[in-house]
Amino acid sequence: MSLFRRNIEIDINPGTDGQLILITTLTDLYHDIRLTLQISSVTYEITEASLDMNRIPHPDCPAIEAKVTRLKGAQVGPGFTKQVLSVLGGEKGCPNLTNLVMLSAPLAMNAAAVLKQKEENLSEAEMDALWQKVLGGVCVAYPRQEGE
């Protein structure tokens, strides 16, 4: 029997006007929270952010809800971690929510590539080039190429 189990689920769907809707849920013995991020599939900028907290471990937890909206305008890419930590980190923040943002938001890059593949019916070679562009230098499978 498990002493503690935490489930995190990320669901990404296309929105309107090139937006991606990322819904990330965290459930465990103490939490049932849902983070919703709307991210541009072109610029990777967070255009909307909201949080639903259905079960929380402490009465002060709802104070973090207002901070989530301050993620609006943050861009997934270099410096993103620092931006997220400045909004959600520290003693007035929430490590669980910080982790959810850091886990889900970068997947907008993957989802944007999949969306482009579906919309443009890319060949395998074109998809390989797109993955290189999206993941080059940030993944062992896609090392930075000369000229990048």
What does the H/E/C string look like for the chain? CCCCCCEEEEEEEECCCCEEEEEEEEECCCCEEEEEEEEECCCCEEEEEEEEEEECCCCCHHHHHHHHHHHCCCECCCCHHHHHHHHHCCCCCCHHHHHHHHHHCCHHHHHHHHHHHHHHCCCHHHHHHHHHHHHCCCECCECCCCCC
Instruction: Report long-range pairs for 19-25 (Cβ below 8 Å, ≥24 apart).
Output: 19/47, 20/108, 20/111, 20/112, 20/115, 22/104, 22/105, 22/107, 22/108, 22/111, 24/100, 24/103, 24/104
pLDDT beyond 90 at 10: yes
- Predicted pLDDT at 147: 66
Instruction: Report the pLDDT averaged over residues 52-60.
Output: 96
Higher-confidence position of 148 and 16 = 16
pTM for this model (two decimals): 0.90
- What is the tens place of the pLDDT at every residue in 91-146? 999 999 999 999 999 999 999 999 999 888 989 999 888 888 888 887 888 888 87
pLDDT at 48: 98
At 130 the pLDDT is: 87
Q: Is the pLDDT of residue 87 over 90?
A: yes
